[in-house]
């Protein structure tokens, strides 16, 4: 049994005081929810404040990025230990916006995932192809390469603790969702690739989330697919009601 994960990626939205209001709304809206593991990933500046709001609730705290070094002269960066210390349990790694705008490579994703795991954080490792790559028939190969890079040198036991997110770049923030069939096919491909690279039993147990324009009105048909173990949500996670509606749709 793979317990669904519903994670909100707030990106660079919400000041700490706005984030507290949103977090309170989410805690309230989901107070009686059973089932999915729910995670919110506010911007760094709001982590501490949101951590205080969700403490004691069933909502987990995640960051959107980290640096792989334990500490050091890396101006502007944040380490896994710092995230743990303020109560994070999760961290998004390799989001396509980081790949696209900040030069994140598969090698970085690998180093960041190792650093996160070493500190006890659960990395949410993102993969996904661009529209050009899909149109060229290269989507499977691109995602396979990203997984190979991300998992390089990781032990099966480390991979067991990862959460994966398939986020086709063309579906992020565009309102254009992958169809449940397209998502299901890629999730199956991701699982097969993990089985090939790591271990079949571990591949069958890891959660693979779908991300890219998930909204309350399309969440259920995606989340009902057996290969889709949850969602990573951007835009619709910025309002308590729409995020809560998606979380409720994950109660299979
Ligand atoms: P979106 O973002 O839901 O706004 O498409 C998803 C993501 O980037 O994680």
Name the residue with the closest Cα to ligand 1, atom 7.
234
Q: Name the residue of 219, 232, 245 whose CB sits within 8 Å of the most ligand 1 atoms, as the mutation to test its pocket.
A: 232
187 is catalytic: no
Contact 30, 58 (CB under 8 A): yes
Fold of 5-240: TIM Barrel (3.20.20)
Q: Using 50, 70 and 90 to split pLDDT, how confident is the model at 121?
A: very high
Q: Residue ranges per domain, the chain? A: 5-240
Residue 159 has pLDDT above 90, yes or no: yes
Over range 73-79, report the average pLDDT: 98
Contact 79, 69 (CB under 8 A): yes
221 is catalytic: no
pLDDT score of 1:
84
pLDDT score of 252:
58
């Amino acid at each position: 049994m793979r317990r669904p994960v519903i994670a909100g990626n707030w990106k660079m939205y919400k000041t700490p005081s706005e984030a507290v209001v949103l977090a309170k709304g989410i805690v309230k809206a989901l107070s009686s929810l059973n089932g999915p593991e729910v995670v919110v990933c506010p911007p760094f500046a709001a982590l501490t404040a949101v951590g205080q709001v969700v403490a004691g609730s069933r909502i987990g705290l995640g960051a959107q990025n980290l640096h792989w070094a334990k500490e050091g002269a890396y101006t502007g960066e944040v380490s896994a230990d710092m995230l743990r210390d303020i109560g994070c349990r999760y961290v998004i790694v390799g989001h396509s916006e980081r790949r696209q705008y900040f030069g994140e490579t598969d090698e970085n994703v690998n180093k960041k995932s190792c650093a996160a795991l070493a500190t006890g954080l659960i990395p949410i490792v993102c993969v996904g192809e661009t529209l050009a790559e899909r149109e060229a028939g290269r989507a499977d190969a691109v995602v396979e390469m990203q997984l190979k890079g991300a998992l390089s040198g990781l032990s099966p036991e480390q991979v067991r603790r990862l959460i994966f997110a398939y986020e086709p770049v063309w579906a992020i923030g565009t309102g254009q969702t992958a169809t449940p069939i397209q998502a299901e096919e890629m999730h199956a491909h991701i699982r097969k690739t993990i089985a090939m690279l790591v271990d079949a039993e571990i591949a069958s147990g890891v959660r693979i989330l779908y991300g890219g324009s998930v909204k309350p009105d399309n969440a259920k048909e995606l989340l009902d697919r057996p290969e889709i173990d949850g969602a990573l949500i951007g835009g619709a996670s910025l309002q308590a009601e729409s995020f809560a509606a998606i979380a409720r749709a994950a109660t299979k």
